[in-house]
A and B are shown apart, each in its own frame.
Chain A
Amino acid sequence: MKLDLDKLFKSDVHKRIILFFHENQGSIDTPRGVATWTGYQRNIVKKALTELAKVGVLVAHPVPSTTGYSYTCEESIIKGVDKKLKELKRRPR
């Protein structure tokens, strides 16, 4: 699946999750944990996490009882996200 950061950043929950992992790059967490850090409902977060793992922004670590998610180690994606976040900061509200 092709990575389209512009499209991902249009969704608040996707943006919030990416921001969380970008700011905490060594973090690995379950949907429940990410829901706590982002303030969204667990089922919404779970769906977004699955989508983000599919496009390669996150890495999924599935085990029978849960799935852990961590940030990608792909430098090109990390740089792309960084650029996008800087753009968003510059853009007037």
Chain B
Amino acid sequence: MNDDQFIYEKLVSSEILRHEKQILGSFFKSPIWYITRDIPNRFSLTKNIILQCKHSTRSWADNRKAVACIMKNLNEAKRLKNIQKFQCLPSSYGFVLPLAQGDKVYGYIILCHADKEISEAYAQLFKVSLDTLIKEIQKELELTKLYDTIRPRAIALSTIHTIHRLINSTLDLDELLPRIARLSIQVMRANRCSIKLLDRKKKALIPKTTVDLRKNKRIRLKKLPVGKGVPGRTAKLGKSIRGKNYISVPLIDEDMIGVITVYDKVNQTSFNEFDQEILTTLAEQAVIAIKNAQFYKEQQDVIVGSVKSLAMLMGARTPHAHKYFKIISRLTIEVGRQMGMDDEELRSLEVASLLHDAGEVSVPDGILAKPAELTGEEYALVKEHPAKGAKIIEPLKALKPAIPIILHHHEKYDGSGYPKGLKGDNIPLGARIMAVIGAFEAMVALRPYRQNARSVDEAIEEIKKNSGTQFDPKIVNVFVKVVNKPGIRKLLKEADEVSR
């Protein structure tokens, strides 16, 4: 429907016009009211107006005269864009009112067979009323057009905003890339999406994720040399490539970091320019999120690397203990994972596993290496090490979540531990895990105060014996399962051989 048609239809169906018709009906005796989009021909005029007058006893000659009069006034109304009153026969009055605004005529209202002349005042009032109505309908049309233009753009903008929120809510690259791929599939209505990141040294694209909605399709994660295949060509050209059933867009920050490619529309149509624009916008969002995640990972690696160096430095005081760093760290993370910890919590647990005894730097070597039983004063000094360890890492904001683990790793499940005497689940989960692992490490690694370390099996038995008193039984169960895994056993054996 075009604009003129829209306005005409709105006018015809308007309540105001219906009301005006009723008023005119009450003023005059049975007038004929006729609305038309265009000037009708004589036949139509005769059929729709002249022959509608039930009380007419007029001759054909009179009818023809009336038709001629109305036609003349219709043409005048069209030319002058103004109301034309007429008397087509004795005692038969009427008017033609163009439904006009400026130069535009949307239709005509014809009223005839009125039994008396229509006053000039009423005719003008009627015209003004219709002018207002037309203006209102024009405004409505403008608003409808604006709505039709803006709404899809607003919806698209809202989609981009939602995607931004969804992909920026994680800094874990392993979680982020599949999420970007899944969202791309949804937005592009595609069956498959793959993301490959560029390895500059190898001049190749490394597959990172592929999401395929088609059932029973095997996903192949293939390394692709730059220049080969659709993603490879995209990487080489540094610009988007579109085919009938694929679009490939480079992920470019300052340099190229990878390529995102979607394949096969769900409804089997071809990808078009609009699709390409959408994927490009999506890729721009993805690049920011990927760069943030990569930067965050680098930062985390630096932190963990620094913590490891610090732990090595401190481990120099207990020369055999550091041989177990790698395996103890792995064991701790594995138990934490099995206990349902998320990545963030696991990172803190790893830091704590490396630094849980950092506070021992304040304990004199003589006490740490003393083979005999400690005096009360000496033991009191040793008991301070969790609080001192927590104090040491306190200034490092990134390590803050590890503080409760370090502070409470000597608490006992029955409440007889230190420094606070916390009991059961009041002890932070990480600290309960660390208590088990710390005790295990102390038993299997050689210590200056004890020349014979226990075997792994002996240490496990000792931990099981103290389950429910010193240790959380749930954690002991998980620990026993994890420590008996062949990979872990092998690493423990290697560490034992190195330290002896």
Given A26-B159, A28-B159, A63-B170, is A68 in contact with B165 using a C-beta cutoff of 8 Å?
Answer: yes
Chain A residues near B170 (CB, 8 Å)?
63
B49 within 8 A of A: no
> In the complex, which of the residues B169, B187, B213, B267 contacts A28, with contact meaning CB atoms closer than 8 Å?
B187
Are B163 and A28 neighbours in the complex by a CB distance under 8 Å?
A: yes
- Write the nearest CB–CB distance from A66 to chain B, whole angstroms: 6
> Are B162 and A68 in contact, CB atoms less than 8 angstroms apart?
yes
B182-236 interface (Cβ within 8 A of A) = 182-183, 185-189, 191, 213
Interface flags, A28-48, vs B, CB<8A=1, else 0: 111001001100000000000
Q: Which residues of A contact B158 (CB under 8 A)?
A: 27, 29, 33, 36-37
Q: Which chain B residue has the least Cβ–Cβ distance from A25?
A: B189
- Secondary structure type dominating chain B contacts: helix
B391 an interface residue at 8 Å Cβ cutoff? no
- Cross-chain contact of B186 among A30, A36, A59, A64 (Cβ < 8 A): A59
Q: How far is the CA of A33 from the CA of B163 in the complex (A)?
A: 12
Interface size on B, residues (CB 8 A): 25
Main SS of the interface on chain A? mixed
Give the 6 A-B residue pairs with the shortest CB-CB distance, closest first: A63-B169, A70-B186, A33-B158, A68-B162, A26-B187, A73-B266
A61 interface residue per 8 A CB criterion: yes
Which residues of A are found within 8 Å of B188, using beta-carbon distances?
A: 26
* Chain A residues with CB below 8 A from B187, complex form: 26-28, 70
* Chain A to chain B contacts (Cβ below 8 Å), 9 pairs: A24-B152, A27-B187, A28-B162, A61-B186, A64-B169, A68-B162, A70-B187, A73-B185, A75-B267
Q: Establish whether residues B266 and A75, one from each chain, have CB atoms under 8 Å apart when the complex forms.
A: yes
Q: CB of A65 within 8 A of chain B?
A: yes
Could you list which residues of chain B lie within 8 angstroms of chain A, going by C-beta atoms?
A: 152, 155-156, 158-159, 161-163, 165-166, 169-170, 179, 182-183, 185-189, 191, 213, 266-267, 278
Neighbouring B residues of A61 by C-beta, 8 Å = 166, 179, 182-183, 186
Could you tell me which residues of chain A, from 52 to 93, have a CB within 8 Å of some CB in chain B? 59, 61, 63-66, 68, 70-71, 73, 75, 78
- Pick the contact of B163: A36, A37, A68, A73 (CB < 8 A): A68
Hey, which chain A residues are within 8 Å of B156, CB to CB? 27
Interchain CB contact under 8 A, B155 and A37: yes
> Which residues from chain B contact A28 at a C-beta distance below 8 Å?
159, 162-163, 166, 183, 186-187
Does the CB pair B179–A27 fall under 8 Å? Answer: no
CB-defined contacts of A30 to chain B, threshold 8 Å: 162, 165
- Among A28, A63, A66, which residue has the most Cβ atoms of chain B within 10 A? A28
Chain B residues, CB < 8 A from A26: 159, 186-189, 278
Q: Which residues of A contact B278 (CB under 8 A)?
A: 26
Contacts of B182 in A (CB 8 A): 61
* Contacts A24-B155, A37-B155 given; does A65 touch B189 at CB 8 Å: no
| B191 and A27 contacting across the interface, CB-CB below 8 Å | no
In the complex the two chains form, is B162's CB within 8 Å of A63's CB?
no
Please give, as numbers and ranges, the residues of chain B lying within 8 Å of A63 by CB-CB distance.
165-166, 169-170
Quote the shortest CB–CB distance from A18 to chain B (angstroms): 15
